[in-house]
């Protein structure tokens, strides 16, 4: 039997009472979580430079501070940080922004013996998106970025769209703008 | 290596579908870059940190009084591409009330809110992939996409499945709805059969006497039996 996966449809503008009513889904690192705690701020803007006012949501999936995913397919999952939950989900506010509380992930195996640079997997859903957009967050200044196989797939001038940068005057806070379309459009992936 | 097959042509919408106007300034202009599937894509959120309550699947019992509208049962199976049930998959649903109004601050359609209807529910599939919701049939509503634009009655579905790449957000429609051929969101899917699979089927065997009509909606997530879920295959 070979079935065809069900077609995607937009999440629409009215998801928040079902999907993002629980703001604790923005907190991946609970008390006692290992590693470097960070706040990761996103801003989502469209092709006109306008923010997505409450009608987009961002989901994160990431490894813990030592690069372990809390999932059975990670052979080290048994040793994953019990105080870290790798999934987060927030809606963007009236300014197109949301902020997650997490830890900086460790390097993750690519499954073949090489390490991937620390990164966070991101899904963007919104009114006007008929299917999810997938991207990754890397960290500016991270030496391992130079050897990351996924970053190497991205034309060099566009790599900066994937790099979160420290926010001046706000310790431990990183930010990234997700530009859906147009100048400096974020790199999205076909997964 | 990619352990999840790619998209069959026409079975999924493109990002840009001009008839759905909100795509015009939100669809990326650059093609997405194809990723190999690493541990990051092959793992995915595991449900369990936020327990499902006993009434979460029953949208008619979230308040003391029952909501207005035609009571319905919506049930089906979550399957992989080989037709195997996907167990323990989180299914989240949300919808408008019987009058076509969402309980959302931005929905200003002048139809009544129902104090006894929230319109959001959750369930987890059983060991063979079955899920079941009790709710009321949602109403159609206007949406200003074009002159006299009305969304066909629909229920939103959100599923995670087993990996980051199996995420699915979709909408379920009702058979015989005259708005279906006019809806740019459903019509964004090029393939007729793929569109038809988003239309639920009335099912008398799901229907409960003296109680509620039954609609069947099966959902297929990416993934195959051949997907080798062991370390050596990565």
**Spans of all domains in chain A:** 23-179
Task: Tell me the CA distances in angstroms from B42 to B91, B163, B229, B230, one per residue in order.
Answer: 20, 5, 9, 11
Give mean pLDDT, residues A67-87.
93
Give mean pLDDT, residues B9-17.
97
Mean pLDDT, rounded, of chain A: 96
What CATH number is given for A23-179 in this structure? 2.60.130.10
Give pLDDT tens digits for B77-127.
999 999 999 999 999 999 999 999 999 999 989 999 999 999 999 999 999
Give mean pLDDT, residues A13-34.
96
Q: Does A92 touch chain B (CB under 8 A)?
A: no
Range 100-139 of A in CB contact (< 8 A) with B: 108-112, 116, 119, 121, 123, 125-134, 136
Q: Among candidates A166, A182, A176, which has minimal Cα distance to A136? A: A176
Give the Cα separation of B173 and B150 in Å (integer). 13
Residue A73 to residue B170, Cβ atoms within 8 A: no
What phi and psi values does residue B207 have, to the nearest 5 degrees? Answer: -70, 135
Give the Cα separation of A78 and A39 in Å (integer). 26
Q: Which of A1, A3, A6 to mutate to test the interface with B (most CBs of B within 10 A)?
A: A6
Say what the pLDDT of residue A155 is.
97
Give the Cα separation of B53 and B164 in Å (integer). 25
Q: Which residues pair with A101 in a beta bridge?
A: A27, A39
- Residues 6+ positions from B101 with CB-CB distance below 8 Å: B107, B109, B111, B112, B113, B114, B139, B141
- Residues 6+ positions from B162 with CB-CB distance below 8 Å: B44, B86, B89, B221, B223
Task: Tell me the CA distances in angstroms from B16 to A181, A191, B21, B149, one per residue in order.
Answer: 11, 18, 9, 19
Q: How confident is the model at residue A109 (pLDDT cuts 50, 70, 90)?
A: confident
Residue of chain A minimizing CA distance to B221: A5
């Amino acid at each position: 039997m070979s079935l065809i996966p069900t077609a995607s449809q937009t999440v629409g503008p009215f998801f928040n009472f079902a999907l993002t009513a629980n703001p604790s889904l923005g907190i991946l690192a609970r008390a006692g979580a290992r590693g470097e705690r960070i706040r990761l701020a996103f801003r989502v803007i469209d092709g006109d430079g306008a923010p997505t006012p409450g009608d987009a949501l961002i989901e994160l999936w990431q490894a813990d501070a030592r690069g372990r995913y809390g999932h059975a397919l990670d052979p080290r999952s048994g040793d994953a940080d019990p105080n870290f939950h790798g999934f987060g989900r927030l809606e963007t506010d009236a300014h197109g922004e949301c902020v997650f509380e997490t830890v900086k992930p460790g390097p993750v195996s690519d499954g073949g013996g090489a390490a991937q640079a620390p990164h966070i997997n991101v899904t963007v859903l919104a009114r006007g998106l008929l299917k999810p957009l997938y991207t990754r967050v890397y960290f500016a200044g991270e030496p391992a970025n130079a050897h990351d196989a996924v970053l190497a797939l991205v034309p060099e001038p566009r790599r900066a769209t994937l790099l979160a940068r420290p926010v001046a005057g706000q310790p431990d806070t990183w930010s990234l703008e997700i530009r859906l379309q147009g100048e400096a459009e974020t790199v999205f992936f076909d997964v | 290596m990619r352990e999840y097959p790619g998209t069959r042509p026409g079975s999924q919408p493109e990002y840009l579908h001009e008839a759905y106007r909100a795509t015009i300034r939100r669809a990326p202009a650059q093609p997405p870059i194809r990723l190999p599937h690493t541990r990051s894509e092959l793992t995915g959120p595991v449900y369990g940190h936020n327990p499902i309550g006993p009434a979460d699947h029953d949208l008619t019992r979230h308040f003391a009084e029952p909501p207005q509208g035609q009571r319905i049962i919506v049930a089906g199976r979550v399957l992989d591409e080989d037709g195997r049930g996907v167990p323990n998959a989180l299914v989240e649903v949300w919808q408008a009330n019987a009058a076509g109004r969402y309980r959302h601050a931005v929905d200003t359609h002048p139809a009544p809110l129902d104090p006894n209807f929230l319109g959001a529910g959750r369930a987890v599939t059983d060991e063979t992939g079955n899920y079941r919701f009790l709710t009321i049939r949602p109403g159609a509503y206007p949406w200003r996409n074009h002159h006299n634009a009305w969304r066909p009655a629909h229920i939103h579905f959100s599923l995670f499945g087993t990996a980051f790449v199996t995420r699915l957000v979709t909408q379920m429609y009702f058979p015989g709805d005259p708005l279906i051929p006019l809806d740019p969101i459903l019509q964004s899917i090029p393939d007729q059969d793929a569109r038809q699979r988003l239309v639920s089927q009335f099912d008398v065997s799901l229907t409960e006497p003296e109680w509620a009509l039954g609609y069947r909606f099966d959902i297929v997530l990416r993934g195959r039996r051949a997907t080798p879920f062991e370390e050596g295959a990565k």
